[in-house]
Amino acid sequence: MKQIQWFPGHMAKTKRLITEHLPKVDIVIEILDARIPQSSRNPLLEEITAGKPQLLVLNKSDLADKDLTSKWMTRFSNEGFFATSVNSTEPKTVSGILKLCRKIVEEEKGGKTGKINILIAGIPNVGKSTIINTLRKEKKASVQNKPGHTKDFQRIILSNELTLIDTPGILWHKFEPAIGYKLAILGSIKDSILDIYDIAFAAVKIFSAAYPERLIERFKLESLPLQTEETIELIGRNRGLLMKGGVVDFERACHIILREIRDGKLGPVSFESPALDDKRFGSHVFDGI
């Protein structure tokens, strides 16, 4: 499998603008998807914001496996990072972010500080705008469940002492296929970048290894076939996605599988583990794609 590349022009602009704004930034918040904490971390962002205090926010924690989220939090802490997990649709879980930012900045500067400029960033579709809307306590920033929606920087004054600098979603130039497929499964890169069948194939393989009972229950399967292609076909047949001659419409089946995973219809799940020996999420899962 070749490396995957998707770096539109507006992302190059975002990289340049982050670099320009950085001297006035006191702390960087990187929003991650709690279902893929490692794959949704942007090495390019880490590189260009090096030297600034950083807070990792694992968003969509309600959609993720709680046990694995807890383990990821422990790992990030052991690696020396500040991290917290939130559900952006529940204000109570988000409200502590600003207090945590102030605490981190004051610890960094060795005492109380006045105005704090917070740069908030992340890859597309991790819920950044929803978090910002919650923090500002009013719905003026637009929110769409599409990658690459926010295209411009915004300065959002929360109070006399707190300013948010909102940035468009940004990826890095090239990423390994395993990372690319996880991003595609959760909608952080456009479906058109990869073959929709390959994305759904990868999703079903992960679920077959990590959460087989979720597939069986959600799509009313008697059991899981040995072949992933057969599983997709059975799902399509059970949903009545048939064309002439009783042939399953694989494209529609793939879209339904991905939509229901993204909407959390298969329950709280994670697609990677901090434990390297967790065989449910090994690179072998992507063999054959």
Percentage of the chain modeled with pLDDT above 90: 58
Contacts of 214 (CB under 8 A, 6+ apart): 207, 266, 267, 269
Question: Which amino acid makes up residue 78?
Answer: N
Contact 117, 75 (CB under 8 A): no
Q: Quickly state the pLDDT bin for 3 (edges 50, 70, 90).
A: low
Band (pLDDT 50/70/90 cuts) for residue 12 is: confident
**pLDDT > 80? residue 79:** yes
Residues 10, 258: Cα–Cα separation, whole Å: 26
16-33 tens-digit pLDDT: 888 888 999 999 999 999
CATH number belonging to domain 177-286: 1.10.1580.10
Q: What is each CA distance from 121 to 29, 30, 179, 184, 242, in whole angstroms?
A: 6, 5, 19, 19, 42
What digits encode the pLDDT tens for the residues 56-70? 999 999 999 999 999
How confident is the model at residue 159, as a pLDDT?
Answer: 87
> What pLDDT does residue 141 have?
41
Query: What is the reported pLDDT for 152?
Result: 66
Range(s) of the chain covered by CATH 3.40.50.300: 8-166
Q: Cα dist. 115→26, 45, 252 in Å? A: 9, 24, 51
Residues of the chain with CATH 1.10.1580.10: 177-286
The C-alpha atoms of residue 43 and residue 27 are separated, in whole angstroms, by 17
The torsion angle over the Cα atoms of residues 176, 177, 180 and 181, rounded to 10 degrees, is -150
Question: Are the C-beta atoms of 256 and 232 separated by less than 8 Å?
Answer: no
Confidence tier at 2 by pLDDT (50, 70, 90)? low
The model's pLDDT over 199-258, given as tens digits with 9 standing for 90+, comes to 999 999 999 999 999 999 999 999 999 899 999 999 999 999 999 999 999 999 999 999
pLDDT in tens, 173-208: 788 888 889 999 999 888 888 899 999 999 999 999
Residue 16 makes CB contacts below 8 A (sequence gap 6+) with none
- In this prediction, residue 9 carries a pLDDT of 65
Which superfamily is assigned to 8-166 in CATH?
A: P-loop containing nucleotide triphosphate hydrolases (3.40.50.300)
Alpha-carbon torsion (254, 260, 263, 264), positive or negative: negative
User: Residue 6 — very low, low, confident or very high, per pLDDT cuts 50/70/90?
Assistant: low
Q: Over the stretch 127-158, which tens digit does the pLDDT of each residue have? A: 998 999 888 874 344 444 444 455 567 888 88
d(CA 185, CA 255): 10
Strand order in the sheet with 116-122: 82-85, 54-59, 27-33, 116-122, 162-166, 154-157
Q: Tell me what pLDDT residue 289 has.
A: 65
